[in-house]
Amino acid sequence: MVIKVFLASSSGSTAIKKKQQDVVGFLEALKVDYTPLDIACNEDNRMWMRQNVPEDKKPANGIPLPPQIFNEESYCGDYDTFFDAKEDNLVYTFLGLPPPPGSKEGQAEEEEEQEEEDLQSEEEEELRQLESAPCGQGLKSGGGRGRRRRVGRNTGGRGGVVEAKRC
């Protein structure tokens, strides 16, 4: 996957220059491979960027300003969305890249996956208990965490009491 950063090498705006430097410097610090594409000297780059920024992401005048960031053909965002992702430690997600092992973003992903696995295991155990219960007898389940759940309803694993087995 190639990250494309559309830049203007000869911008007269100090704000645009600073934003471009911020994006490029951060990508280099993270050792993310990227390709800088100049829209000031290359009309094809300018036209491609303008055509591929989604309409809902373009400013009121319809002309997106650099820096604009893409992963191959997929639009990632502009400086503001990059900055938000940077502040939230979600730059790899923003770029559509897998986070490296040991990164904050990678650790958060691993914790979320573990929580989902734990919840699924609890639900499977509750179903086994319910299936093995005598007819008409309900099971009260806390799943080891003091929670009660309702089996047979879409509660997202929250609240309720396990229903009685129907015979």
- Residues 64-105 pLDDT 10s: 999 999 999 999 999 999 999 999 999 999 999 998 888 777
What's the pLDDT at 148?
Answer: 47
CB distance 68 to 6 below 8 Å: yes
Please compute the mean of the pLDDT values over residues 15-20 and round it to a whole number.
96
- Residues 38-65 pLDDT 10s: 999 999 999 999 999 999 999 999 899 9
Is residue 75 helix, strand or coil? strand
Banded model confidence at residue 119, pLDDT cuts 50, 70, 90: confident
The torsion angle over the Cα atoms of residues 129, 131, 137 and 139, rounded to 10 degrees, is: 30
User: Shortest CA distance to 22 belongs to which of 103, 100, 84?
Assistant: 84
What's the pLDDT at 164?
Answer: 56
Rounded CA gap, 74 and 3, in Å? 9
56-65, 122-131, 147-156 — most confident range: 56-65
